[in-house]
A and B are shown apart, each in its own frame.
Chain A
Amino acid sequence: MHQDMETAFGRLIKENKDRIFRICLFYAKDEEDQKDLFQEISLNIWRSLPKFRYESKIETWIYRIALNVCLQYKLSAKRSHVDWVKIESVNVADNVENIQDKLENSELLRRLNYCISKLNEADRSITLLFLEDLSYREIAGISGLSENHVAVKITRIKKRLTDCFST
């Protein structure tokens, strides 16, 4: 049973590492914090894995845990830091093949991040889910809002992001 869970967990992390890491990039600024946050999300996925009932897509379930962990991280960031056992299980390196893309897109990405940083914490979370290309229904399931409410919020956010980009 434990072995099955370890295998399932390993596969889950392998398949979703980029997704989880993008969320970490969104919420933590420096690399050490991003790694810690990655481990914190992984820890919470591991602990919640026995509770997963296949009622939603596994990706939606991961987003739900990741978002809750990140919101908690933002709330507690000023007070205390998670004291992680230091094992270099997560490594981040610049992708050499994409250096050219990186140079071309870094300015736009910086601009996007700047515009997102102007939003409040709740809108930032919705923006993250929207940019991750989730449907309104999935965002509603993760955030706890109704689909209509999500649609209204996203329309408002898109307008603010477009205005920010055009200035």
Chain B
Amino acid sequence: MDENELKLLWSLSSTTQSVTIDEGQLLQSISKQVAMMERKVRKRDFREISVAVVMMFFFSWVLLRIPAVIGKVGATIIVLNCMVVIYKLLRARVKITTDNTQNALTYLDSSLKGIQKQIKLLNTVLWWYILPFGIGVLCVYCSSGHSPQNKVIYSLAVVMICSFTYYLNRRAVTRNLRPLEEQLKKLIKDLTI
């Protein structure tokens, strides 16, 4: 079978089926989809940022009220860390879109870079999210007047929550992002060899 026969055969694949489009309905469907996606992104951003803002205000108040130095240090760590989280979330939101009018190689390359940034973000989550919050919360609680037994139980609970959060992030990297990164790398390699 030669080149022209292959192309002719291929062109027949769409003549055996007829596609009818209702442009009005398609536009309506697209508008709904765009609105739904924007709403979803707005909700997620609002949820994540508002939690950080509420925590920032709450621990600023704690910082002013708490007399012990160790408690003040803990509250300061949390307030500063909330600022870092808000900054990181806002920055990630700005850079999340990949222009799909680029050629495939550039598109795949920027998708790969995006995935690698997400992997880096989650791989370092222990240092910029879990540890500062964990240490801050422990400092604030330990400086309060609770019994030593309560302090031990509370500290263990905080360590468990932090470990679980870390585990979830690691799992997201190994289950979702790494395979996607490998697939993208393979696709780029196959395209360029």
Contact = CB atoms under 8 A, between A and B. Distances in A.
Contacts of B7: 130-131, 133
B30 A39 contact: yes
Nearest to B189: A122
Contacts, number: 171
B12 A79 contact: no
Given A141-B103, A144-B103, A144-B105, A84 B33 contact: yes
Interface residues of A, number: 71
Given A42-B26, A69-B100, A109 B187 contact: no
Given A61-B101, A143-B103, A162-B1, A95 B15 contact: yes
Contact of B104 (A92, A102, A144): A144
Contacts of A64: 100-104
Contacts of A112: 6, 9-10
A161 B6 contact: yes
A108 B12 CA distance: 11
A93 B27 contact: no
Nearest to A53: B101
Interface residues of B, number: 49
Contact of B29 (A6, A10, A72, A84): A84
A25 B14 contact: yes
B19 interface: yes
Contacts of B23: 9-10, 13-14, 89
Nearest to A119: B190
A10 B11 CA distance: 23
A89 B21 contact: yes
A158 B32 contact: no
B180 A68 contact: no
A121 B17 contact: no
Contact of B105 (A91, A123, A143, A165): A143
A91 B20 contact: yes
A65 B17 CA distance: 23
Contact of B26 (A90, A123, A149): A90
Contact of B27 (A10, A95, A106): A10
A85 B32 contact: yes
Contacts of B153: none
B105 to A, nearest CB: 3
A149 to B, nearest CB: 8
A79 B176 CA distance: 8
B174 interface: no
A142 B108 CA distance: 12
Contacts of B9: 105, 108-109, 112
Contacts of B107: 68, 71, 144
Given A91-B22, A142-B103, 7 more contacts: A17-B21, A47-B34, A71-B187, A76-B180, A85-B32, A144-B106, A165-B1
Interface of B: 1, 3, 6-7, 9-23, 25-30, 32-34, 36, 99-108, 111, 176, 180, 183-184, 186-187, 190-192
Q: Sorted from nearest, which 4 A-B pairs have the closest CB atoms?
A: A144-B105, A144-B103, A122-B190, A89-B25
